[in-house]
Structure 1
Amino acid sequence: MQVPDYSSFTKSVAAEKADAQGAFDALCELTKQAVGVKLFTVMTHDARTGEAGRIYSNMPEAYPVSGTKPANETDWTRQVIGEKRTFVANDIEGIAAVFSDHELIKSLGCESVINVPIIVGGRVLGTINCLHEAGFYTREKVEAAEALKLPGTVCLLLHECEGGH
C-alpha cells in the first residue's frame, strides 16, 4: 500500500489559526489525491443517542451540512458502527441496499462508496465517506482510504474541541 502524503494536511492542522473547517478541507484534498473522490462527506455518530450528523461536504448544494438524524438499523450500521469495519459498495445496487438517497447519489455520477469509521477509545466518532463512479474503489483504493483514519480522527477531535457534536 502506498502511504498518502500527509504533509499539506499536517501544515493545515498545525497552522496557528487552524480550525476544523480548514482541517476538513485539507482532509478532502488528501482524500482526492490518495483515494479519489467525487462526493466527500464526514458524518458524526453519537453512540448515546444513536444519531448521525453531516459536518462536512464538498457538495453542499446536494449534501448540505445539517443537523442530526436517527441512524437506521441496517447491515451498514451493523458493519460500520457495530463491528467498526469499513463498508464498500462498488455498484448502485450495493448502495441502494443500505442508503435511501441512492437516487440522489446516482444523479451525482456516483455509484460506488467507501465509508471509513473513525474510532477513538473503542467508540465510533463518525465516518469518512467517499463516493465515485461505479467500480472505482479497488482493493488498493480501499487500503488508501483506511490510511485516512488518523487525519480523520484529528478532524473529528478538532470539531469536538470547537463545540461540535
Structure 2
Amino acid sequence: MTARPDDPTGSLLATLAEAGQPERLYKALEEATRSLVGHKLFTLLYVDGQDVARVYSSRPAEYPISGRKTMGETPWGELVLKRRQPFLGRDRQGIRWAFFDHVLIESMGLGSVINIPVLYDGQAIGTMNLLDVEHHYADADVAPVARLAPLLIPAFLEARAAARATDRNQIR
C-alpha cells in the first residue's frame, strides 16, 4: 500500500511490522497526526471497563504515562466512550465542558481538542487525543485523524491484557 501525503495509513501499517511495538507506532502516530492537523499535546488512553490508563504522552512532564484509574460518569465519557463518537472542542469552553483538569490544560496554552475513540468489537477500547491552541481545530480535521485510530487496536488490546494479567498476579 502506498501512502498519499494526506493519508499516512500505508506507512503506519508498515510501522506495525517493525520491532519495538507499541512505542514505535505511538511515535509514528504522533508525527502523522502532527503532519495532518497539528497538535501541541498528543496522548493515548486505553479503556478497560470503568478504568482508563494513559499509555503515551508527547508531554510526559505534564501528562505522564500512569497506572489505571477509575473514570466516573461524565458527559465526555458518555459521548466518546459510550456513544463512540469523536469530540471536537474548538475553544476553552469545550475544554472546560469535557475535562476536570481544564486548568492544567489551559495553563499549557491549550484551548482546543480532538478526541477520537478507538473502536473494537462494538466498544470504545481507548482514545487518541490531540490538543492545540484555542480555535486550532475545525470539523474537517476530525476525519483524517479518525482514519488512523484502528491502527491502535492491537496495542490497546495488548495493554489491557497486560494490565489484567498484572491484576490477576497481584490477587494471588
What TM-score, normalized by structure 2, do the two folds share? 0.85
Conserved 8 A contact 1:89-1:112: yes
Q: Which stretches in structure 2 are left out of the alignment for 5+ residues?
A: 165-172
Contact 2:110 2:131 in 1 (8 A): yes
Larger radius of gyration: 2
Q: Is the 8 A contact 2:91 2:134 kept in 1?
A: yes
2:1 equivalent to 1:6: no
**Equivalent of residue 23 in structure 2, options 21, 24, 29:** 21
User: How far off its partner does 1:160 sit?
Assistant: 4.8
1:90 Cα shift? Answer: 0.8
Instruction: Find the counterpart in structure 1 of residue 36 from structure 2.
Output: 34
Match of 2:120 in 1: 120
AA aligned opposite 2:121: G
Give 3-state SS (helix, strand or coil) of 2:44's partner: strand
1:91/1:112 contact within 8 Å kept: yes
Kept after mapping to 2: 8 A contact 1:117/1:127: yes
Structure 2 Cα separation of the partners of residues 46 and 142 of structure 1: 24
Query: Which whole-Å CA distance do the structure 2 matches of 1:12 and 1:140 have between them?
Result: 26
Post-superposition Cα deviations, 1:31-89, rounded to whole Å, max 9, x if no partner, equal: 11122111000011112xx0111110000011000011111211101111110101111
Residue deviations 1:82-123 (CA, integer Å, cap 9, x gap):
101011111111111221111111121210011100010011
User: What is the one-letter code of the residue matched to 1:46?
Assistant: D
| Counterpart mapping for 1:13-162 below 5 A | 13-15=16-18, 17-47=19-49, 50-160=50-160
- Which residue identity does 1:34 align to in structure 2? L
CA RMSD, Structure 1 to Structure 2 (Å): 1.8
Q: Tell me, in whole angstroms, the C-alpha distance in 1 between the residues paired with 2:42 and 2:74.
A: 21
AA of the residue aligned to 1:61:
A
Partner AA of 1:117 in structure 2 = P
The count of residues paired between Structure 1 and Structure 2 equals: 160
Contact 1:120 1:153 in 2 (8 A): yes
Quickly say closer, same or farther: Cα 1:164–1:25, change in 2 above 3 A: farther
User: Residue 135 of structure 2: SS of its match in structure 1?
Assistant: coil
| Matching residue of 2:170 | none
TM-score by length of 1: 0.88
Q: Which runs of 5+ in 1 are unaligned?
A: none
User: Stretches of 4+ moved more than 6 A in 1?
Assistant: none
